[in-house]
């Protein structure tokens, strides 16, 4: 490594090739041009020297965020969401098709969202397209327009212009999408089973949990598995909370079904036993379940049945979360955590014997693979020069005043976490919140 670079990073601890090692990384024109031993020297316009208390991670990729602009920018906007992501070591986001107005179920809506994002974003940003009843003819056009894949709901999502699909409509979409080699992300809760259970009302978390039992999730996941089996399409289960489903997923994969699954920090960190009545900051759909279920989800990550960990950043105002009444029945079901995902997961994962290489797999490489972003998610020549500088041993208390997304309500307030992000680098430049320079992404060719 004697040729000139735009940037050289010397890191005694680098997550590269699935392991931690010392390395010197040379960056040219926003891409990683070389990775060599720490002692190698190279001429560069800029040099970053890390200490042995810092680890260079690939920039994280969060493939499950809800950015509600346009239409509901008072919930969350492109500027605030992407600043929060960068503060948390995330350099790439993929936005879900609902909670903005209109939902991203047509090419016109996608173009509107792209225009709204342009010039505001601090990290790179891609979009999922929506599958809703009646938009079958839009799917190929959305694919050609650059969405990274598609998302549907099997249960009511609470969004007027994003109705759920039936199991048959989901299967038809998998058939239609199969030639594109893009995934169909599925919110897997059964509308039919849910309809037979009384809705929750009031401040009791126990009652809310009882209104969304594991069975409605398990049944819907069975429907996803069989639809993927029959269609040969590629299905992905979002925000899995029921550990009961893990054996089914493992079995389906062994039988050749094209299936992947994710979970989220709130399912891996929180437990129903600790959620107080009225604590609507903890409401999510599917719900946070028991501590024993949480530990089985960690086992699912260890076994590779769960592929990745993403935030499901689902922002809402304090009024939407019913912070004054604490009513779980009417409160918005979503947890905003895009800035805190890395320290949340690392704080628990390290105690369970996982490594930062595991974190990079769950939170960088595999989300990039899901979204077809083949230049993201790894520290290797040819990849985008996206990095997270992480101090894994530094503790900090979660103070809502530090949170950069629009509404700082968080179930983690007051917790002490381990691991701080001291900088995020996007395509070779440290992210500067005064200068948004994120790019809009299309699916990479394989």
DSSP sequence for 326-365: --TTTS---B--TTTHHHHHHHHHHHTT--HHHHHIIIII
Question: What's the CA gap between 164 and 99, in Å, rounded?
Answer: 14
Question: What's the CA gap between 267 and 146, in Å, rounded?
Answer: 31
Where in the chain are the domains? Answer: 5-52, 59-372
Per-residue pLDDT in tens (0 to 9) along the chain, 446 residues: 556 899 999 999 999 999 999 999 999 999 999 999 988 777 888 999 999 999 999 999 999 999 999 999 999 999 999 999 999 999 999 999 999 999 999 999 999 999 999 999 999 999 999 999 999 999 999 999 999 999 999 999 988 899 999 999 999 999 999 999 999 999 999 999 999 999 999 999 999 999 999 999 999 999 999 999 999 999 999 999 999 999 999 999 999 999 999 999 999 999 999 999 999 999 999 999 999 999 999 999 999 999 999 999 999 999 999 999 999 999 999 999 999 999 999 999 999 999 999 999 999 999 999 999 999 999 999 999 999 999 999 999 999 999 999 999 999 999 999 999 999 999 999 999 999 999 999 987 66
In CATH, what class is 5-52?
mainly beta
Residue 20's DSSP bridge partners are: 15
Question: What's the CA gap between 353 and 9, in Å, rounded?
Answer: 28
Question: What's the CA gap between 43 and 6, in Å, rounded?
Answer: 9
CA 101-102-105 angle, 5° bins: 140
Place of tokens 């381990």: 418
State pLDDT tens for residues 376-426: 999 999 999 999 999 999 999 999 999 999 999 999 999 999 999 999 999
Name the CA dihedral angle for 290, 215, 278, 198, rounded to a multiple of 10 degrees. -150
| CB neighbour list of residue 357: distance below 8 Å, 6 or more residues apart | 15, 18, 19, 20
In CATH, what class is 59-372?
alpha beta
Question: What's the CA gap between 404 and 74, in Å, rounded?
Answer: 14
State pLDDT tens for residues 130-173: 999 999 999 999 999 999 999 999 999 988 899 999 999 999 99
Phi, psi of 417, deg, nearest 5 = -110, 165
Question: What's the CA gap between 274 and 295, in Å, rounded?
Answer: 15
Whether 78 contacts 86, CB under 8 Å: no
Q: Is the peptide bond preceding residue 211 cis, with omega within 30 degrees of 0?
A: no
| CB neighbour list of residue 93: distance below 8 Å, 6 or more residues apart | 61, 62, 63, 65, 67, 81, 82, 85, 123, 124, 125, 126, 338
**pTM of the model as a whole:** 0.97
| CB neighbour list of residue 302: distance below 8 Å, 6 or more residues apart | 354
SS3 184: strand
**Burial class of 141 by CB neighbour count within 10 A (0 to 12, 13 to 18, 19+):** middle
pLDDT value of residue 41: 76
What is the DSSP-derived secondary structure letter of residue 42?
A: -
What are the contacts of 42-46 at 24+ separation with CB within 8 A?
42/1, 42/2, 42/3, 42/4, 42/5, 42/8, 43/2, 43/3, 43/4, 43/5, 44/4, 44/5, 44/6, 44/7, 44/8, 45/4, 45/5, 45/6, 45/7, 46/6, 46/7, 46/8
State pLDDT tens for residues 168-182: 999 999 999 999 999
CA-based R_g, the chain, Å: 21
Question: What's the CA gap between 89 and 122, in Å, rounded?
Answer: 12
Place of tokens 């929060």: 84
């Amino acid at each position: 490594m004697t040729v000139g670079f735009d940037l050289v990073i010397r890191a005694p601890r680098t997550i590269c090739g699935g392991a931690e090692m010392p390395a010197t990384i040379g960056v040219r024109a926003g891409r990683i041009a070389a990775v060599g031993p720490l002692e190698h020297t190279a001429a560069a316009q800029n040099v970053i020297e890390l200490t042995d208390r810092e680890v260079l991670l690939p920039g994280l990729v969060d493939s499950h965020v809800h950015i509600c602009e346009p239409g509901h920018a008072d919930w969350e906007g492109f500027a605030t969401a992407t600043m929060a992501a960068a503060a948390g070591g995330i350099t790439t986001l993929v936005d879900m098709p609902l909670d903005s107005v209109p939902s991203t179920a047509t090419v016109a809506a996608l173009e509107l969202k792209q225009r709204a994002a342009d010039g505001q974003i601090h990290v790179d940003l891609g979009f999922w397209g929506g599958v809703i009843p009646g938009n079958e003819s839009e799917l190929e056009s959305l694919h050609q327009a650059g969405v990274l894949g598609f998302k549907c709901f099997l249960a009511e999502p609470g969004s007027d212009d994003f109705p759920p699909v039936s199991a048959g409509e989901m299967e038809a979409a998998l058939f239609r999408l199969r030639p594109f080699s893009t995934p169909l992300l599925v919110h897997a809760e059964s509308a039919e089973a849910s309809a037979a259970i009384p809705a929750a009302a009031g401040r009791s978390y126990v009652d809310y949990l009882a209104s969304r039992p594991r069975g409605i999730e398990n049944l819907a996941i069975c429907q996803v598995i069989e639809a993927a089996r029959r269609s040969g399409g590629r299905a992905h289960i979002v925000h899995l909370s029921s550990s009961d489903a893990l054996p089914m997923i493992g079995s389906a994969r062994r039988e050749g079904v094209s299936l992947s699954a994710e979970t989220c920090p709130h399912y891996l960190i929180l437990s129903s036993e600790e959620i107080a009545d009225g604590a609507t900051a903890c409401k999510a759909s599917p719900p946070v379940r028991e501590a024993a279920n949480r530990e089985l989800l960690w086992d699912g990550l260890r076994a590779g049945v769960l592929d990745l960990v993403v935030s499901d950043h689902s922002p809402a105002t304090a009024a939407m979360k019913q912070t004054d009444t604490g009513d779980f029945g009417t409160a918005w079901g979503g947890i905003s955590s895009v800035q805190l995902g890395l320290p949340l997961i690392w704080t628990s994962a390290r105690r369970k014997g996982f490594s930062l290489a595991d974190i990079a797999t769950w939170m960088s490489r595999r989300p990039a693979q899901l979204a077809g972003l083949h230049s993201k998610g790894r520290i290797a020549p040819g990849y985008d020069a996206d990095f997270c500088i992480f101090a894994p041993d530094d503790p900090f208390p979660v103070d809502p005043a530090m949170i950069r997304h629009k509404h700082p309500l968080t179930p983690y307030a007051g917790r002490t976490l381990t691991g701080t992000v001291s900088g995020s680098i996007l395509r070779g430049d440290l992210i500067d919140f005064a200068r948004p320079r994120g790019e809009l992404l299309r699916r990479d060719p394989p």
